[in-house]
Structure 1
Amino acid sequence: MTEVQVVQLLVSPAHLLAGRPSDGLPSVPDERVSRVAVRRGLGLVGDRYFGRPAHRDASVTLMAAERLPLDIAASVDLRHTRRNVLLRGVDVDGLVGATVSLDCGEGPVEFAVNRPARPCAWMDVTVGPGAQRALRGGGGVRCTPLSDGVLVVGPAEFRVVAERGGA
């Protein structure tokens, strides 16, 4: 068990970064929340990927705050990275293939960590020049929730339930 901090949560009802970064950044509303309900196999209630068959293996994205470039980490939030859960205290990028548990005090929520969340060209616009390159290999992970529960900003317990391949 590892003590972590859920730094931010983002629930975005709409996909906001369409087109090319050269088109300019749209006005991005503050979609950060202090708590969110998670539904097994579906995602975060209210999020744009909730219950969408094409995104069931990627409906929740976890990101490690430590992976953000140091020169911009203090000013970046989930509105810029478009990830759902920003954690401090665990390197989630090395856990592809594992099953993990996050307990924010309301019971554990398990996630299958399916694949990396690769940073896109929009990162250079929303985060800052060079962010896409800086976040390669550290842009977070795309997950499927394996249980219902609630995530809350604040202290939490993180645990690897099963290593890669279920061992």
Structure 2
Amino acid sequence: MTTAVEVVALHVSSVHAYEGRPGDGPRPDPEPVARDRVVVRAGLGLVGDRYFNHPAHRFAAVTVFAAEALDAVADELGLATAPSPLVVRRNVVLRGFDVDGLARHDVFALDSGDGPVRFEAHRAANPCAWMDAVIAPGAFKALRGHGGVRCVPLDDGVLRLGPATLLT
């Protein structure tokens, strides 16, 4: 099945920003995390990301997230606008596809203009308590079951912001 989607955010960070106590605030990133394009390497992840070629994250190096989850959080918590998709620290944020509906070992391909890049879904990406600190109180609970999916890339390729096609 082919679905038209939009890649609304791409996130690559060499460090964890959400460490320690949420009351102390996130650690500043050493460089901007938002990207217009990311380079994907099969079995390794996104070049430059903290989970790239990390043995403990071999099957969870890339996290894909649905932007609609942030719209739902804004509605549920009465926020004036949806939070930035970068605040959830997910690598690829899509609009137009039920990411959380993917099952373990589902394979999907994302093509944002440079050819399809296949991913295999492995496990749910659970939100953390930091969401209450960086979005609003109650966000952690509101995102349960809607935190995205951890994946392993099956192909080398490039993903870009903007219109894309998702194939399942």
| TM-score where L is the length of structure 1 | 0.90
Deviation at 1:129, TM superposition (A): 1.1
Post-superposition CA distance 1:24-43 (Å, at most 9, x none)? 33335631000010000000
Post-superposition CA distance 1:81-133 (Å, at most 9, x none)? 01001100001101022111000011000001101000000111112111110
Residue 12 and residue 44 in structure 1: after superposition, are their counterparts in 2 closer, same or farther (change >3 A)? same
DSSP 3-state at the match of 1:132: helix
* Distance in 2 separating the partners of 1:94 and 1:107: 24
Kindly indicate whether residue 95 of structure 2 is the aligned counterpart of residue 102 of structure 1.
Answer: no
* Distance in 2 separating the partners of 1:20 and 1:154: 35
**Aligned position for 1:59:** 61
* Distance in 1 separating the partners of 2:166 and 2:80: 22
* Equivalences for residues 141-156 of structure 1 within 5 A: 141-156=149-164
Deviation at 1:17, TM superposition (A): 1.1
Task: Indicate if the aligned counterparts of 2:127 and 2:147 stay in contact, CA closer than 8 A.
Answer: yes
* Equivalences for residues 2-17 of structure 1 within 5 A: 2-17=3-18
Amino acid across the alignment from 1:65: A
Aligned residues: percent identity? 55
Task: Indicate if the aligned counterparts of 1:8 and 1:78 stay in contact, CA closer than 8 A.
Answer: yes
Post-superposition CA distance 1:36-90 (Å, at most 9, x none)? 1000000000101001111111100000011111344845224310100110000
Structure 2: give runs of 5+ residues left out of the alignment.
none
Amino acid across the alignment from 1:157: T
Task: Indicate if the aligned counterparts of 2:100 and 2:148 stay in contact, CA closer than 8 A.
Answer: yes
DSSP 3-state at the match of 1:70: helix
CA RMSD of aligned residues (A): 1.5
Residue 73 and residue 155 in structure 1: after superposition, are their counterparts in 2 closer, same or farther (change >3 A)? farther
Structure 1: give runs of 5+ residues left out of the alignment.
161-167
Task: Indicate if the aligned counterparts of 1:30 and 1:79 stay in contact, CA closer than 8 A.
Answer: no
Task: Indicate if the aligned counterparts of 2:40 and 2:153 stay in contact, CA closer than 8 A.
Answer: yes
Task: Indicate if the aligned counterparts of 1:32 and 1:78 stay in contact, CA closer than 8 A.
Answer: no
64-73 or 49-58, larger mean C-alpha shift: 64-73
DSSP 3-state at the match of 1:90: coil
* Distance in 2 separating the partners of 1:119 and 1:108: 28
